[in-house]
Amino acid sequence: MIISHRHKFIFIHIPKTAGSTISAYLAREFGPWDLQLGSWKDALGNGANANRLALIAIFCHLSPLKIAKTLVRNGKVDSLAGAALSRRFAGKLADHSGASEIEAFDPSAWRQYFKFCFVRNPFERAVSIYNWHYRKTETRPSFSQMLCLIEEGAARSERINWESWQLYTKNDEIVVDFVGRQERLSEDLRMICDRLGLPFDDRFLIRAKANPTRPDIRSYYKPGDRERVERLFGPEIEHFKYRFPD
């Protein structure tokens, strides 16, 4: 999630929609008080630096010992930005805060700034959520079982970060100014940069968490799974006319 006061935009980071790639690109243009939560490792690796807000958070919200160890090891403290900002804004904003949280945090910015997010075909995104959520688990439930957990309301207790439509809508109405699609990431981000007066150079559009061996998502789907995804992501599927990949 980003609130940029320099360039007057708000980016809502929907999980598993190339949000880290987008954040890492935009962070290169940050002003001193621009706020990014999440994706700092990717941003720093893409040429960004900890800005003034991040540095203040580091020295105010992390222990002197941790700061000293990082300075000795790296010669700078930029790598601590993500942890420090998460601690600074805990209980107010998070990596994947949605429209309601952001508006409550900064009503003026929400009212005045250009607001955008990116979406992805839910049939593909559900598989990506599954593989990411259980990436470090030796024994994982099946894809079908994960969908059932979400349907049963256990996503929060299982810490499955699955919501999308709920993050950029209110009462089923889209409240951001632009919704890009991961399927045309470069083209849509270029349009956003043009709108904001930012440079666009796709050499810095890294695929932060791309899987080099992209799985065939159809192999994950068992009887009933397509219907489960249609129920969970129904409004988004209908609005953007997404279909199960051939």
Tell me: the pLDDT tens digits for 197-218? 999 999 899 875 555 566 799 9
User: Structure tokens of 45?
Assistant: 């690796």
pTM exceeds 0.75: yes
**Nearest-angstrom CA–CA distance, 124 and 60:** 41
Residues 31-41 have a mean pLDDT of 97
Say if residue 162's pLDDT is above 90. yes
**pLDDT reported for residue 163:** 97
Say if residue 37's pLDDT is above 70. yes
How many CB atoms lie under 10 A from the CB of residue 32? 12
**pLDDT reported for residue 211:** 58
Residue 141 to residues 32, 44, 167, 191, 195, Cα–Cα distance (Å): 44, 34, 26, 40, 43
Say if residue 189's pLDDT is above 70. yes
Say if residue 234's pLDDT is above 80. yes
Residues 113-124 have a mean pLDDT of 98
**pLDDT reported for residue 246:** 81
Range from 82-96, 171-185, 213-227 carrying the lowest mean pLDDT: 213-227
**pLDDT reported for residue 212:** 55
DSSP-derived letter for residue 172 is T
Residues 26-45 have a mean pLDDT of 97
**Nearest-angstrom CA–CA distance, 36 and 62:** 17
Residue 132 to residues 9, 64, 140, 182, 210, Cα–Cα distance (Å): 28, 33, 11, 17, 11
pLDDT category at 119 given cuts 50, 70, 90 is very high
Residue in the block written with tokens 């630096």 = 49
**pLDDT reported for residue 144:** 98
pLDDT tens across 54-71, in order?
A: 999 999 999 999 999 999
Residues 61-84 have a mean pLDDT of 97
Classify residue 138 by burial, with Cβ atoms within 10 Å: 0-12, 13-18, 19+.
exposed
User: How, if at all, do strands 9-12 and 169-170 pair?
Assistant: unpaired
Say if residue 131's pLDDT is above 60. yes
Residues 29-49 have a mean pLDDT of 96
Q: Can you tell me whether residue 152 is helix, strand or coil?
A: coil
Classify residue 86 by burial, with Cβ atoms within 10 Å: 0-12, 13-18, 19+.
middle
Say if residue 4's pLDDT is above 90. yes
Residue in the block written with tokens 């893409």 = 46
User: Structure tokens of 190?
Assistant: 């270029």
